[in-house]
Structure 1
Amino acid sequence: MFDDSAEGELAWQIFGGTLQYAAGLIPEIADDVINIDNAIRWGFNWVKGPFEMIDHLDSRRVIDRILGEGKELPAMLEVLQNSGFESFYRNDGSEYLGVDGQYHSVK
């Protein structure tokens, strides 16, 4: 996805667009990353939700790629960038980053 090859570009165009779309759904469609991740995992049988994938891929690389293309960051990626944190989840998934830029306990 971050490779300069044709395959990497294709992967970014398909999967990167999906990640950007999901990151723009909060707070319009859901109140937090947990609900988006659960909906995608349960509804589409993904192993990881989009925010879990962004963490797995390295959020900084995802953000840099979007900004490098001259695009505006989706809402939750902007929250992550402005928070100074590096991931949507921490402490083995027991906390998630909220729209307020602070971590909250997963209940």
Structure 2
Amino acid sequence: MPTIALLILSNLFMTTAWYWHLKGGPAVAASRPLLTVIAISWGLALFEYCLAVPANRIGFASGWSAGQLKIAQEAIALIIFGAFMVTVLGEPLHWRHFAAFGCIMAAVGFLFVGK
């Protein structure tokens, strides 16, 4: 469970690092200086790494394979991104998002079946 908790926290930071600067629409995003956006995003990503690396080490030491760690991270990333997209960026979810999420969850199932 620490692996999942750390992956959730790390994904909160990484999603924010990658997408915070898009809030407000294309014109607002374009008005933000790119080097400033990169510097702020790197600062946020530092916290992501401080959480993701221990999450992967703990998960691996607990018997998870690298593939299982990666696919779990992707599933968590999609959930967090979906929430971020709706709440922060104001974009709606469509059936395509749910279909893609279903495919990722099927991949999670394939990697964890029999484990």
Q: What is the TM-score normalised by the length of structure 2?
A: 0.31
Bigger fraction of residues in strand: 1
Q: What is the TM-score normalised by the length of structure 1?
A: 0.32
| Structure possessing the higher radius of gyration over alpha carbons | 2
Bigger fraction of residues in helix: 2
